[in-house]
Structure 1
Amino acid sequence: MGTEPAFLGWRAAMERALYGPGGFYLRERPGAHFRTSVHASPLFADAVARLLRRVDEALGQPAELALVDLGAGRGELLTGVLASAPPGLADRLRPCAVERAPRPAGLDPRIAWLAEPPTETVGLLFANEWLDNVPLDVVETDERGVARLVEVAPDGTERLGGPVEGADAAWLARWWPPTGRPGERAEIGRPRDLAWAAAVAGVSRGLAVAVDYAHLRARRPASGTLTGYRDGRVVPPVPDGSMDLTAHVAWDACAGPGSHTPTQRAALRALGVRGARPPLALASSDPAGYLRALRDAGEAAELTDPEGLGGFRWLLRPVGVDLPLAV
C-alpha cells in the first residue's frame, strides 16, 4: 500500500518550501526566477539613494546612518545604492542585508549580512517584495459557508482542514470577511502584519518602507492570489522547494498608525523618476547623451507604469521624524 502524502497548512508548507533545509530561497538565485524593480532598472536604486539622503537630512546627518535591506536577495539594491551615494554620505553609511540565504561571493565588504533584522536602527529600513514571501495560511469556504483551512501536500494536492479559529478568525472577520459563497478563498495576512510590526519596531529613528503587490479590503480577490514563479514564468503553486511561492499583501491590514500608502508610481515620481522623453534637439548636440536619456525614460516608464510595477504599493512609516517624502 502507498503512503498518504503529508498534508500541512499552507503557512507551514510555504515555510518549509521556501526557507527549510534545501528551500528555494536558500538554494536559488531569486533574480533567475522573477524580476523585481531592482532588477528592472538601476533607476530604482538611484531613487532609494535619494530617499536615503532625505532621511539623512531629517535625522540631522548622524555620524552613522543605517540602510537595512530586508529580504535582500543577493544584495543588488544595496550595491546599487552604494554606487549612487555621494562620498559624504557613503562614508557614514552602514549598509546591512537581511537574508536567510548565505552571503554571496564577491559582495561589497562594507555590506553586513544578517539572518535577522537589527534593532535600534537609525536610518532607512527598506523591504522590497519581502512581505509577499512571508508564509501565510489559505482558507476556503465549504458548502455550508464555513471558512476552513486549506491543507496541501508536497505535490500540490489540496484538501480542506478544520475551521479557522482564534486570532486568525478575528483577522479574517476584520480584514477579509468571507461572503459565505462555497469555493471562495482568502489568505490570512496576520503573519505579515506581525512581521512588519516587528521590523518597524527595530527602527528607533528614521523611516521604514515596504514595497509590494497589494490589495485593499474593498477589493479583495475572491480566489486569492497565491501563485508560484519558476524560471521567469507563473506556475501553479506547489510547495516542493522548486519555485517561489508568493501571495499579494493585505496592505491596509499591515499599515499601522501614521503610515502612508502611495502607489509606486506616486512614490517614484516624488523621487524624480518620471519617464519623460528627452528633447529631440539633444540627439543632434549629444547623440550618446540622447540615447542614455532615452534608455532611462523607457526604464522609468516601466517602473512607474500603473498597470505594472507602478501599481505596486509603498508603505511608508516614519519613526521619530516627519515623512521626508511628499506623496
Structure 2
Amino acid sequence: MTVTGLGQKPHSGHPGDEPTPAEALRLYETMLLIRRVEERLRDDSAAGKLPGAVHLYIGEEAVATGVCAHLSDRDYATSTHRGHGHFLAKGGDVNAMMAEIWAKQEGICRGMGGSMHVADISKGILGANGIVGAGLSIATGAAFGAKLDADGKVSVCFFGDGASNQGALMETLNISTLWQLPVIFVCENNGFSEFTPSAEVTAGRIADRARAFGMPAAEADGNDVTDVWRAAGEAVRRARDGGGPSFIEARTYRIQGHFEFESVVLSGGRYRAEAEIESWRLDRDPIARFRARLLAAKTAQAADLDRIEAAVAERVNDAVAYAEAGQPADPELAGTLMYAPEPAGLRQQQKGA
C-alpha cells in the first residue's frame, strides 16, 4: 500500500455523508503527519534546537484535517499563531515549513516569518498570523474577491475562542452575511484564550454569535474528524453553490501548553489541572479514536495504518534533515522584503515636481 498524497480530490460534502475508504485514509494520514511534526517540534524545542518559540496543535488535528479535506489549492485559508496544522492540512510543503521554523533561507518565507507566519499563496494559504483575530478580515476579503470572480472558490478562516471576542468577528459576520460571501468561519474552541479559561472571558455560546446574523452555524466535536468533515462539507457546498457564509464551532483541546516556553514564563505556575489534560489525552485523542473506528469498520487493517505511520515518520525525519542542512536566513532580506523596489526615474520625477 502506498501512502496517499495530502490535499487531493476535495469532497463535495452533503449532510450524512461518510468519507470513502480512500478519503478516510487520507484523513488519518493528514492527522498523523500533523501530530508527528508537532511532536518533533516539541522535542526539538525542549532540546534548545529551535531559534524561537512554537505554538503546537497537538490534540486539535481533526479540525484542520476535516475542514481542509474539502478544499483545493484554489480555495483560500487564513490561520492563527497555532498554524502548523492548517498549513499541512491545506497541502503546504512540510520541508519548507520546517525550514521556516528553523529560520533557514529554504523556508516557505525564506526564514523571515518563523513559526507564526507560515504561508504559501500558491496553495491558497494566506498565512498564519501572530495577531489574534487578524485572519477574520483577510478571509472575508478573499471571499469577496472569490465572489467577484464567480468561479466557485471559497475562503476559510480558522480562529480560536479568544479571537471570538474581537470586534472584527462581528464586523465580518455582518458584512459576509449581507453580501452572501463564500466564507466559512471555523472557531477552534479549545477552552483557553492563552492562559485564561474561556468560561471566564466569553459569555454564551460562540456559535450563537453567527446565528444572531442569520448565518447557518454548526457545533461539531472537534476531536472527531468525521464530525468536523461532515459539518465542513455542508458549509463548503453551501458556499460554492452561492448560499453564502457558514460558521462552525469545533470544540477541542490543546494538549500542550499555549507555547513551548510556557513553564519558564509562568515560573511553575499552573492554570489547568493535569487530570484534565490527561483525560483529553487518553479518552478523546482524535487520532486514536479514528484509528479504532477504521479498524472496527474494517476500512483498513492494522498493517495498513502501520505502513502509513512508518511513511509519515520518514517524511518528518527527512523534513528535519532538510531544515537543519539549510542556509541561515539572510538578515538583509528584512529591508529587501519590507520595501518595494523604487520605480525607475522616481527621484527625477520628484525633482521635476
Larger fraction in helix: 2
Q: Give the TM-score normalised by structure 2.
A: 0.32
Q: Give the TM-score normalised by structure 1.
A: 0.34
Larger fraction in strand: 1
